[in-house]
Amino acid sequence: MELFHSAKQRLGWDNKRFATVLILSLIILPASILLVTISRSSTFTGAGGFSITQILKGKSRQQAPATFGELREHLASPPSVAPTPSPGFRTQQDSSNRNDEALLDGLLTSPGADEPSCLSRHQSYRKHSPHKPSPYLISKLRKYEDLHRRCGPGTKSYKREIRKLTKLDRVDRDHSSEEYCKYVIWLPANGLGNRMISIASTFLFALLTDRVLLLHQRPDMEDLFCEPFPNSSWVLPVDKFPLQKEFWDEKDRHSHSIGSLMEKGNSSAARNESTRAQASSYLFVNVNHGRYDGDNVFYCDRGQASIEKIPWLIMLSDQYYAPAFFVMKRFEKEVTKMFPEKDTVFHHLGRYLFHPSNQAWGLIKRFYRAYLEKADQRIGLQIRVFNPKTVPFQTVMDQILECSSKENNILPKLDDAKPVATSESGNRTSSKAILAVSLYSEYYEHIKNMYWTKPTVEGDVIGVYQPSHEEYQKFGDNMHNMKAWAEISLLSTCDVLVTSAWSTFGYVAQGLGGLKPWILHKVNDQNVPNPACVEDLSMEPCFHFPPTCDCDTDEKVDAGALVPYLRHCKDLNWGVKLVD
């Protein structure tokens, strides 16, 4: 106090002035210290959870205040908050660890730098799957990725094998002297759904046989999918591949097929052909739409033994032939370790392989956010009519309504007793989005008009949407396939799914979404089938044309009666599918 008293005397202040200065100093000094502390620390947050530095730096990552007037206005109003993502949406920013959900429980790796080139690997509108991939499958995928990096296009190993193929080298390979790479080249056949289920099957074959999968990607498939394997490509550089002319030469495909090498029945001929097969540099394997070279020899142990060391296998297929590996002695144990839940094969492999390119993801994201995101429930209707000229529109429409409204309560029921004007009440239960996917617009228009002109019994708010209506399937059209891929992806985000019998388009959507759909029976006349639809056995695609002969006896067999987990498909009684 003596110090303060002497200072007051030197400055010539009276008691009142000195007290005023002292009080102001005691207020200003702590405030100054506090501001300095705040400016140096990014961890100081207000009661609302936003840091002071966040408020000063910008409007929740928007444009920063440019003047003091703007800053004052900004501080006077609460900071904006980013909208909450819809249920199931995941992005790299949404979760701090990202480990399980964003990486599909270990199916994917995270190189990090690939996000701008493939946004869909880090973003999704599908629900998080309750089906977990086995640790053994994950280890197989990591080993395969390493193999693809070492043997894929552009590597020394690939160039060496191409040189040998160019020379049609028939000398047995010495596994100890150099790295030995084997390949399976996938050739496209039919529509996008057929292609995707056959790619997944061929990839499973590659996993089981230590081969590198390469796609012969035609222009109509360009920029549909991201590259699935980190730091390498799965696209065959066809312009530099020496056998590109042979791909579509049916005569050459037959002369270099397994069937042509093993079709003779006597044992000596079979042994000679097996020796020839071992010495060949390449072979064609045709499992396309039920046409098998040499019947089912590809699905027999002797057939697999004959092609084991052939460096180049060229696969032509439009089938989901993955179920066959579960009944082949050579692969049964291995594939069961990979998929202890046997009805998850396409679910896991499809989500691992097929990620929409940025262009395709743009179509998906814009449509989903505009029409589906805010709905409490999303209902997918996939309507494929294989014979539209002979099956009336009204028959199919009646079947859809019979299945989805009358039999199974999938679509909300209409209240015919009340006009729309008197149905407005505060007790609506939910909002529902109906996604109608079809080549034709008539089904969408009919369903939309139903819910426009009549209220529902529960007072639900209904939206009906159709992304496109191409009128007919366009082969060789890239944008047609782009739209198809976007629609498949959108269907896979639905909560419940109604699909059409025999449709591989629907198979892919249900597999990616982990959905067990209701299947509309195929209509062959003008009558609605009874029942109109049936619940599927599993989310797996149907193998339409399984092998029909026993490998040892060549006698006819029923593929759907061999093991308990392989059953006849609900939509095609001679096809088979995996069930758990």
Q: How far apart are CA 26 and CA 18, in angstroms?
A: 12
Q: What is the pLDDT confidence band of residue 474, given thresholds at 50, 70 and 90?
A: confident
Pairwise pLDDT comparison (173 vs 390), residue with the higher score: 390
Task: Please write down the long-range contacts of 86-90, taking CB distance under 8 Å and 24 or more positions apart.
Answer: 86/125, 86/373, 86/374, 87/127, 88/124, 88/125, 88/126, 88/127, 88/128, 88/493, 89/123, 89/124, 89/125, 90/122, 90/123, 90/124, 90/128
Q: How far apart are CA 310 and CA 210, in angstroms?
A: 12
Q: Specify whether 277 is located in the same domain as 153.
A: yes
Q: Specify whether 38 is located in the same domain as 161.
A: no
Token pair for 418: 């009340």
Q: Of 323, 353, 383, which residue constitutes the final position of a domain?
A: 353
Q: What is the pLDDT of residue 88?
A: 41
Q: Of 300, 329, 353, which residue constitutes the final position of a domain?
A: 353
Q: What is the pLDDT confidence band of residue 424, given thresholds at 50, 70 and 90?
A: low
Give the β-pairing of 461-465 and 576-578: unpaired
3-class DSSP assignment, residue 173:
coil
- Residue 90: inside a domain, yes or no? no
CB within 8 Å of 298: residues ≥ 6 apart: 258, 285, 287, 292, 304
Q: What is the pLDDT confidence band of residue 571, given thresholds at 50, 70 and 90?
A: very high
Q: What is the pLDDT of residue 26?
A: 57
> Are the CB atoms for 236 and 218 separated by under 8 Å?
no
Average of per-residue pLDDT across 241-260: 79
Q: What is the pLDDT of residue 101?
A: 65
Q: What is the pLDDT of residue 507?
A: 98
Has residue 3 got a pLDDT over 90? no
Has residue 531 got a pLDDT over 60? yes
Q: Of 304, 325, 353, which residue constitutes the final position of a domain?
A: 353
Q: What is the pLDDT confidence band of residue 567, given thresholds at 50, 70 and 90?
A: very high
User: Within 10 Å of residue 15's Cβ, how many Cβ atoms?
Assistant: 8
Has residue 382 got a pLDDT over 70? yes
Has residue 93 got a pLDDT over 60? no
Q: What is the pLDDT of residue 40?
A: 42
**212 beta partners:** 183
Q: How far apart are CA 394 and CA 418, in angstroms?
A: 25
Q: Specify whether 470 is located in the same domain as 523.
A: yes
Q: What is the pLDDT of residue 216?
A: 95
Amino acid in the structure at residue 267: S
What are residue 367's phi and psi, to 5 degrees? -70, -45
Say which range, 93-107, 114-128, 478-492, has the weakest mean pLDDT: 93-107
What are residue 453's phi and psi, to 5 degrees? -95, -15
User: Within 10 Å of residue 358's Cβ, how many Cβ atoms?
Assistant: 14
Say which range, 294-308, 352-366, 443-457, has the weakest mean pLDDT: 294-308
Q: What is the pLDDT of residue 168?
A: 56
Amino acid in the structure at residue 437: V
Most confident region among 11-25, 163-177, 220-234, 400-414 by mean pLDDT: 220-234
What range defines the domain where residue 40 resides?
A: 2-76
Q: Specify whether 156 is located in the same domain as 67.
A: no
- Residue 331: inside a domain, yes or no? yes
List the alpha helices (DSSP H) in 343-455. 345-353, 358-367, 393-401, 442-453
Q: Specify whether 403 is located in the same domain as 498.
A: yes
Residue found by looking up tokens 């049936």 in the block: 534
Letter string b/e over residues 377-412, b meaning 16 or more CB atoms within 10 A of that residue's CB: bbbbbbbbbeeeeebeeebbbbbbbbbbbeebebbb
> Are the CB atoms for 355 and 118 separated by under 8 Å?
yes
Q: What is the pLDDT confidence band of residue 199, given thresholds at 50, 70 and 90?
A: very high
Q: How many domains are there within the chain?
A: 3
- Residue 485: inside a domain, yes or no? yes
Token pair for 1: 């106090």
Q: Specify whether 460 is located in the same domain as 509.
A: yes
Pairwise pLDDT comparison (344 vs 472), residue with the higher score: 344
Q: How far apart are CA 231 and CA 114, in angstroms?
A: 9
Pairwise pLDDT comparison (425 vs 522), residue with the higher score: 522
Has residue 43 got a pLDDT over 70? no
Q: What is the pLDDT of residue 296?
A: 74
Q: What is the pLDDT of residue 258?
A: 78
Q: What is the pLDDT confidence band of residue 406, given thresholds at 50, 70 and 90?
A: confident
- Residue 88: inside a domain, yes or no? no
Q: What is the pLDDT of residue 68?
A: 29
Prior bond of 531 cis (ω within 30°) = yes
* CATH code for position 364: 3.40.50.11350
User: Within 10 Å of residue 115's Cβ, how many Cβ atoms?
Assistant: 15
Q: What is the pLDDT of residue 288?
A: 76
Has residue 527 got a pLDDT over 80? yes
Has residue 267 got a pLDDT over 70? no
Q: Specify whether 189 is located in the same domain as 306.
A: yes
- Residue 482: inside a domain, yes or no? yes
3-class DSSP assignment, residue 520:
strand
Q: What is the pLDDT confidence band of residue 16, given thresholds at 50, 70 and 90?
A: low
- Residue 562: inside a domain, yes or no? no
Q: Specify whether 433 is located in the same domain as 487.
A: yes
Give the β-pairing of 312-317 and 212-215: unpaired
Pairwise pLDDT comparison (518 vs 550), residue with the higher score: 518
Residue range 481-518, pLDDT digits in tens: 999 999 999 999 999 999 999 999 999 999 999 999 99
Q: What is the pLDDT of residue 525?
A: 82
Has residue 329 got a pLDDT over 60? yes
- In the sheet that holds 291-292, the strands lie side by side as 212-215, 183-187, 312-317, 282-288, 291-292
Mean pLDDT of the chain, nearest integer: 80
Q: Specify whether 188 is located in the same domain as 273.
A: yes
- Residue 246: inside a domain, yes or no? yes
Has residue 130 got a pLDDT over 90? yes
> Are the CB atoms for 439 and 192 separated by under 8 Å?
no
Q: What is the pLDDT of residue 17?
A: 54
Residue range 339-380, pLDDT digits in tens: 999 999 999 999 999 999 999 999 999 999 999 999 999 999
List the alpha helices (DSSP H) in 60-185. 68-76, 135-151, 156-166
Q: Specify whether 408 is located in the same domain as 283.
A: no
Q: How far apart are CA 208 and CA 566, in angstroms?
A: 19
Q: Specify whether 235 is located in the same domain as 331.
A: yes
> Are the CB atoms for 487 and 480 separated by under 8 Å?
no
Q: Specify whether 207 is located in the same domain as 286.
A: yes
Q: What is the DSSP letter of 266?
A: S
Give 252: exposed, middle or buried? Use CB within 10 Å, 0-12, 13-18, 19+.
Answer: middle
Has residue 330 got a pLDDT over 80? yes
Say which range, 25-29, 360-364, 565-569, has the weakest mean pLDDT: 25-29
Token pair for 318: 């439009």
- Residue 545: inside a domain, yes or no? no
Q: What is the DSSP letter of 495?
A: S
Q: What is the pLDDT confidence band of residue 41, given thresholds at 50, 70 and 90?
A: very low
327: nearest Cα among 39, 564, 103: 564
